[in-house]
Structure 1
Amino acid sequence: MSGGTHGIRHVVWLVLIVLVWTAAQAGARPDGVDMSANIDEHDIAGTSVEKPLRLEPDSTIRVAIELTNNTSDPLEIRHVDLAGHVLGLSFYSYSTAVELTVAPGKSESLRYRLELRGLSGQAVGLIGGELAVYDGSGAAVAAIPVITDVRGSLWSVYGLFGIALAVLTALGIADAALTIARHRLSANRWRRGLRVLAPGLGIGLVFAFTASVARWWVPDTGLWLAFAGVSATVAFLLGYASPTPEPDEELDDDSDDVDENVDEAEPYRFPAEGPKP
């Protein structure tokens, strides 16, 4: 069972690494570039949980982008990326190569069709994403956040990610429950709290994943961390405030019986003439 706890600890480290990576990747984009876009004639800037952009696997969507270059340099666009992110990780991504140059002070439009091949195996549920345009060096020039309703499969990469979280959390809960049932919790309150903290963290992560797949809301990084932090804190406090485990009474009784048998045993005495050769 200890493997389940170790697995959830790895998830904790993954969350921390993702946060650092996301902060490092959040570079400044050029100022003075205005972007608007619509997909299937719907403005993606107006997407929300109530009105998400519905993405059907193996369908074709029409993308229209308008860019205004308010800078003093020509703006070269080399590819457009539609991607969905969870905890800083991309679970679906469609990149389209384009060739568009926007002169200073000018506006240009870009229109193309995008086939969503393989989407069913990539993600499912409400996922926050963005439509971004990149220059020749690979730097993001402009982007528009979009909330997508992906009609994929639970056995997609994102679905399996959530299932793995659920399995690791179940193993962690079973490990903690077995430890409590066997009175193996540490007498130190801090150690008891830390022992049940990992399953609590997993519960929060699984709840956030369930909210995404059930299409209740979009669990962005802030919500994931909020759920995980609250559930981990509650679990830690429960472990910290739990009664100090007492020694097993059956073991004490057995040790007392052994001591009594030792005390009652009569020592062996050799005959007066000494031991026989």
Structure 2
Amino acid sequence: MGRVIAAGVALGLCVVLLGAPPASAQSGSAPAGSLGVQASIDRRPIADATVPIDPTQQVELQVMATNTGTAPVKVRSVRLSGVALALTFFAYDTTAPFEVPARGTVTRTFVLDLGDLAGQATGLLPSSVELLDAQRATLGEATTVADVRGSIWSVYGVFGLAMLVLTILAWLASLLALARHRLAPNRWRRGLRFLPAGFGTGLVAVISLSVLRLVPPEPAIEIPVVLGAAAIAFLLGYLTPHPAPPAAPTAGDGATVRLPVPSTQEFTR
């Protein structure tokens, strides 16, 4: 049972770590003629701000693209997306082709219907507005933090609840093995036994801070929290006492007690 729980927590961690999007134009390999992007949602600039998004209301997205190059750039679509723990929890693409002339600026306004966002995410999520070309490469983007007024039963909320349940079970399995003296004699193996519970604790902490609208799950925060919780759990397992050796059987435990047999000389006396 403990191995199954540990595998579940490890699987959740692997999904998070392996779910990171591949490097694209926004990470330093931008195509020729990339654009500078400024955006506002409901007439609120998103730069260095937390933007509330109510899924029950339509959202007015205004994008201003600036081309500093010497050739015009063609934009095919605009994407609004939100990411947490290296996983994309919502993404909305709007196809609206337009061209930004060389050394020029173009402003476009879109009305987005985000009605199903309530079932996808809730809380604070790092988000971005991207301009994409015909090959879906990023021409430019503006980043922000979205305060999504979604449901706790959204995909993001259910993911957090599932990690909470798995983490509690992982701790119970490790502590029960400790109480029953079933941990490995080797200290490193005992530390590894507690490691999945630590990873789960870090993930739950990051998601909880996000859902409670306290701290967004940005890499500069989520990585130290997850690794710190894992290190603490490993240290706790490493410092647990050595499992007690099995007690020798006694008469009270049902063991067979052999009585001395008198010799024949004692009977002749």
User: TM-score, structure 1 length as denominator?
Assistant: 0.86
Q: Which residue of 1 aligns with 2:6?
A: 5
The whole-number CA distance in structure 2 between the counterparts of 1:32 and 1:112 is 21
Q: Do 1:173 and 1:199's aligned partners in 2 also have CA atoms closer than 8 Å? A: yes
Q: Which residue of 1 aligns with 2:249?
A: 253
Shift of 1:14: 2.3
Mind listing any 5+ residue stretches in structure 1 that lack a counterpart? 267-277
The whole-number CA distance in structure 2 between the counterparts of 1:240 and 1:163 is 28
The whole-number CA distance in structure 2 between the counterparts of 1:38 and 1:257 is 76
Q: Which residue of 1 aligns with 2:266?
A: none
Q: Which residue of 2 aligns with 1:238?
A: 236
Q: Which residue of 1 aligns with 2:29?
A: 28
Q: Secondary structure at the match of 1:239?
A: helix
| CA-based RMSD | 2.0
One-letter code of the match for 2:198? Answer: G
Shift of 1:255: 8.9
Q: Which residue of 1 aligns with 2:108?
A: 110
- Farther-moved stretch of structure 1 (121-130 vs 21-30): 21-30
- Farther-moved stretch of structure 1 (3-12 vs 82-91): 3-12
Shift of 1:60: 0.8
The whole-number CA distance in structure 2 between the counterparts of 1:57 and 1:93 is 13
Q: Secondary structure at the match of 2:115?
A: coil
After superposition, the C-alpha distances for 1:65-115 in whole angstroms (9 at most, x for unaligned) are 111211122211111011100122111111111010112122111112111
One-letter code of the match for 1:14? Answer: V
Q: Secondary structure at the match of 2:153?
A: coil
Q: Which residue of 1 aligns with 2:81?
A: 83
Q: Which residue of 2 aligns with 1:269?
A: none
Match runs of 1:93-242 below 5 Å: 93-242=91-240
One-letter code of the match for 1:168? Answer: L
The whole-number CA distance in structure 2 between the counterparts of 1:180 and 1:120 is 42
Q: Which residue of 2 aligns with 1:15?
A: 16
TM-aligned CA distance change 1:255 to 1:148, over 3 Å: farther
The whole-number CA distance in structure 2 between the counterparts of 1:107 and 1:193 is 57
Q: Do 2:81 and 2:129's aligned partners in 1 also have CA atoms closer than 8 Å? A: yes
Q: Which residue of 2 aligns with 1:42?
A: 44
TM-aligned CA distance change 1:73 to 1:130, over 3 Å: same
Q: Do 2:5 and 2:170's aligned partners in 1 also have CA atoms closer than 8 Å? A: yes
One-letter code of the match for 2:30? Answer: R
Match runs of 1:50-65 below 5 Å: 52-65=50-63
The whole-number CA distance in structure 1 between the counterparts of 2:226 and 2:194 is 13
Show structure 1 runs of 4+ deviating over 3 A.
Answer: 21-27, 254-260, 263-266
Identity of aligned residues (%): 34
User: TM-score, structure 2 length as denominator?
Assistant: 0.89
TM-aligned CA distance change 1:108 to 1:37, over 3 Å: same
Shift of 1:27: 5.5
The whole-number CA distance in structure 1 between the counterparts of 2:189 and 2:252 is 30
One-letter code of the match for 1:15? Answer: V
Q: Secondary structure at the match of 1:22?
A: coil
TM-aligned CA distance change 1:16 to 1:265, over 3 Å: farther
TM-aligned CA distance change 1:255 to 1:226, over 3 Å: farther
Shift of 1:128: 0.6
Matched residue pairs, number?
A: 257
Mind listing any 5+ residue stretches in structure 2 that lack a counterpart? 262-269
Q: Do 2:80 and 2:93's aligned partners in 1 also have CA atoms closer than 8 Å? A: yes
Shift of 1:13: 2.3
Shift of 1:224: 1.8
The whole-number CA distance in structure 2 between the counterparts of 1:27 and 1:254 is 72
Q: Do 2:39 and 2:61's aligned partners in 1 also have CA atoms closer than 8 Å? A: yes
Shift of 1:260: 5.6
The whole-number CA distance in structure 2 between the counterparts of 1:264 and 1:212 is 71
The whole-number CA distance in structure 1 between the counterparts of 2:143 and 2:210 is 17
